[in-house]
Structure formats: C-alpha cells, structure tokens
Amino acid sequence: MQKQLKEYTNYLSVEKGLSKNTLESYCRDLKKFIGFMDELGINNPEMVKREDINYFLGELKKNNSATATISRTIASIRSFFNFLMTEGFIENNPALELASPKIEKKLPRVLTMAEIECLLGQPKPVELKGLRDKAMLELLYASGIRVSELIGLNLSDFDPQVGYLRCRGKGQKERIVPIGSMAINYVNEYMNTARTKLCKNNGEVALFVNQHGNRMTRQGFWKILKKYALKSKINGDITPHTIRHSFATHLLENGADLRSVQEMLGHSDIATTQIYTQITRKKIREVYDKAHPRA
C-alpha cells in the first residue's frame, strides 16, 4: 500500500492544496495503519476488511490514544479508501460507515483584556528584537491570524494606508483582514527601523525576520511567545491560538457579528466560529451571577 499512499499524498498536496501540517498528520496516521496491516500480512488494499480496520482502531484505544487522535485517524483512513475507490484501486470500500468516537468539545482558553494588555506590554520596543516582537504580538491580536499566517506574511501583504492585511490560510486560501491603528504603528516602526538592521539580504520579502535576517519560523515565534508569557506571569499555557481565541471572543463581547468574525478568522464553516458564542454566554452568566442581587 506504500505506492498508493505516495499517490494519495501527491493528490492531497497538488489537487486538494492541503497545508504541510495537515498533510503530515494524514501521512503519519496512514503510515501507522499501513505498518499495522503489514504485520497482519495485509499488503494490498483489496485485502483490507472492515474488521481489520476496527482491530487497528481497537489497538489505538488499548494504547490510550486520545479520542481526538482516533477520530482524526478514522478520517484519514476513510479519506484514503475513498481515494482508492475513486481511482479504481479497490472495488469495495472497507472504510464505509466507520463510526467516529464522540469528542467532548472543550471551550478554548481565552485571556482577559487585562491579561492581553499585560502580555502585549512585555516586549521592550526600544530594542531591535523587542520592537519586532512587539509588532508581531500586536499584529497577531489585532488580526486573529494563525501563527503560520503570521510568519508567512510578506512585505507586500501589509498595507498601512488602508489598514488591511492580506494573508494565506489553510489550503492557501487568501483573505483580507482589517487591522487597528496601534498594530499598524508598531509594524511601521519595526519596518522602518528594526527590520532594516536585522535583515541582511535586500532581496528578503518576509515581513518578519529572525536575528539571522531570514524569515521567522514557527518554532522561533513559539519561543518568543513562551518567553513573554513567562514574564507576564499569567497562569496557564499561552499559545498563538490562545491569542486568536481571545481576538474572536473580545470582538463578539463588544458587539461584532458572528459572520464578520468568521470571515476574519478564515473559517469555512460558521459552526467552527460558533464555539466563541458559548464563551461569551458563559461570561455573561458569570457576570449576572455576581452582579444580580437575586442570582
């Protein structure tokens, strides 16, 4: 099945335009599955039966794999066999009607306005790297973009005159996101001072660069955020997605409509965005319980 996996991977990359991370997740799941089938002496997709797939999934459960991991693995297997069916590699699809386990939806962690102010206040904009870090954090909170979108920004994607940012999301889908004056000012200051000194290559198009003058990496930004999160002394883990969640929740709390927030976040399905309404309802209930004399 390794040959079919290679063709499937190429199909996902070229025709579906999946992101590198999503592609790696699918391949990782399917390599485990194919390896397990090999151990059972099954090396041809035509030989795979539904019982074999369920046996594999049962082993994942025995090994205490997370429910989300099992659910994603089922989706990977289902998609793989749909491809094999479409391409004529198999006549019967053993992955039809595979039941996905129910995943308990946890509300994402959201920082309060005071915590956001504390976090964004950690970088020292008087230093080159401090000004760059300040610009990145301010832009992340001002736009709600993903960390991959942040580090993927080019100089041409930032338009301070109209106050918009162009970014490329999942599947390289492009969208335009508005940004506020504070973020614009810090990014402008970074570009006019810090970037020109950090960037050693005049041909570099990346908006945010590291100390070597190359495009900032995902790992590099995570280290930067972790450093300022520790300095802020905010309880709990803070990730780039925590800032994205906070961006969406704060917009809704202050009267933004769900559809606009969906567009800004780049969600293809509004159901994904609706989780933030649960957070705002929960907060309203807490405010009511604290403030109402007969609560």
Q: Could you tell me the strand order of the sheet in which 164-168 lies?
A: 158-159, 164-168, 174-178
Per-position b or e across 205-218, b if 16+ CB within 10 A of its CB: ebbbbbeeeebbee
| Catalytic, out of 170, 175, 215, 283 | 170
Annotation marks residue 292 as catalytic: no
Q: Position of tokens 């969406």?
A: 248
Annotation marks residue 212 as catalytic: no
Annotation marks residue 276 as catalytic: yes
| Catalytic, out of 168, 195, 244, 245 | 244
| Catalytic, out of 146, 168, 195, 250 | 146
In 3-state terms, what secondary structure has residue 40?
Answer: coil
| Catalytic, out of 61, 197, 241, 259 | 241
Annotation marks residue 186 as catalytic: no
What is the 8-class DSSP label of residue 215? B
Q: 119 near 34, Cβ under 8 Å?
A: no
Annotation marks residue 170 as catalytic: yes
What is the 8-class DSSP label of residue 48? -
Annotation marks residue 244 as catalytic: yes
User: What tokens does 168 get?
Assistant: 């490329």
CA distance 2 to 30: 10
Paired strand residues for 206: 154
Backbone angles phi, psi at 174, to 5 degrees: -95, 140
Catalytic sites, residue numbers: 146, 170, 241, 244, 267, 276
